[in-house]
Amino acid sequence: MKIIVLDGYAMNPGDLSWGELEKLGDCRVYDRTPANKVLERAAGARILLTNKTVLSADTLAALPELQYIGVLATGTNVVDIQAARSRGIPVTNVPGYSTASVAQMVFALLLDMTSQVGHHSRLVREGAWSASPDFAFWDRPLTELDGLTLGVVGFGAIGRRVAELARAFGMTVLVHTRNPEKYQGTREAESVEFTGLDTLFGRSDVVSLHCPLTTETERMVDASRLARMKPGARLINTGRGPLIDEAALAEALNSGRLAGAGLDVLSSEPPRADNPLLQAENSVITPHIAWATRAARQRLMTVAVANVRDFLVGNKSNVVN
């Protein structure tokens, strides 16, 4: 039983164990696999695991022994799902493993922007507090979350967790989702208000994006939608980078119309050096790490291995096609 992991480093840079997967067959783990090495490394594999390495229709056609594809993530856009289905190859994913960690990052970004923790810590180390005549020193506005309005775009597991945390901070929560009727009568709907997207952008002090990337949502946060936001509002994106028109957001930040943006994802990753957000005013950018706590990655490992184990005994777990 040949098992190949094409790009295991992101999920496991060395602090987790592949031992449980190795018990299931002849397992080889590559840290990263460039496109021109995929066929060579995957040749003869019955089970193939990938995180971001693309598996196209042509690639799948060249791997006649392949019987199973496991995506080491929730999103499965790196695999040609239709081609896999036509060849009878199940594709699995790992849903929900990072919900708590991503929601935590939303508030890490928000608190950094509103309490200016990183900025003032740097000033202390640079001597600004030591040189101050006062016992307390700050040079940027500090914002209290209690009483502000958070708009949550997308109400899946992460969006619901973010709404829950926001209420704990005393925030009013607006929600936009394609199917609000799904939540009628549920606990999650009791203390949020479902609104249209434009209404949400117009009323929110903070907007947090948690919707999937589709043809409808790509660049949904464009110049016109940013113009609907309150002066001094903030935008957070821990979902997908292409949800935002980055040039338009950079302009809104540099003009001072928006007070800040907290971004864990960008349109291309790693970003191009000329990405306008890298030099934009009041932008807090982290390198796609919201999902990457050790606890979340351990859950990812556990479920990914369980998916393979179930496949080997004829069960279907987290099959997306």
In the block, tokens 């039983």 appear at 1
**Whether residue 11 sits in one domain with residue 113:** no
Same domain assignment for residues 247 and 305: no
Domain membership of residue 321 (yes or no) is no
Residues 299 and 277 in one domain: no
Whether 10 is in a domain gets the answer: yes
Total of domains in the chain: 2
Q: At what angle do helices 294-312 and 99-115 cross, to 10 degrees?
A: 160
**C-alpha separations of 283 from 28, 101, 237, 261, 264 in Å:** 40, 21, 11, 5, 11
Same domain, 121 and 218: yes
HEC per residue, 197-259:
HHHHHHHCCEEEECCCCCCCCCCCECHHHHHHCCCCCEEEECCCHHHECHHHHHHHHHCCCCC
Residues 83, 223, single domain; the answer is no
Could you confirm whether 299 is annotated as catalytic?
Answer: no
Q: Would residue 318 count as lying in a domain? A: no
Q: Say if 233 falls within a structural domain.
A: yes
Per-residue pLDDT at 142: 97
The answer on 106 and 215 residing in a single domain is yes
**Considering the domain boundaries, does residue 47 fall inside one?**
yes
Residue 32 in domain: yes
Residues 63 and 159 reside in one and the same domain: no
The tens-digit pLDDT sequence of the chain (321 residues) is 999 999 999 999 999 999 999 999 999 999 999 999 999 999 999 999 999 999 999 999 999 999 999 999 999 999 999 999 999 999 999 999 999 999 999 999 999 999 999 999 999 999 999 999 999 999 999 999 999 999 999 999 999 999 999 999 999 999 999 999 999 888 888 899 999 999 999 999 999 999 999 999 999 999 999 999 999 999 999 999 999 999 999 999 999 999 999 999 999 999 999 999 999 999 999 999 999 999 999 999 999 999 999 999 999 999 999
Residue 308 is assigned to a structural domain of this protein: yes
Residues 6+ apart with CB under 8 A from 44: 2, 65
Task: Write down the pLDDT at residue 188.
Answer: 84
Same domain, 281 and 142: yes
- The boundaries of the domain holding residue 15 are 2-95+294-312
pTM for the model stands at 0.93
| Active-site position among 122, 181, 269, 272 | 269
Q: Which of 160, 210, 225, 240 is catalytic?
A: 240
269 counts as catalytic: yes
pLDDT at position 189: 85
The answer to whether position 152 is within a domain reads yes
Residue of 46, 167, 288, 309 marked catalytic? 288
| CATH at 15 | 3.40.50.720
Q: Are residues 168 and 197 in the same domain?
A: yes
Task: Judge whether 172 and 149 are in contact, CB under 8 Å.
Answer: yes
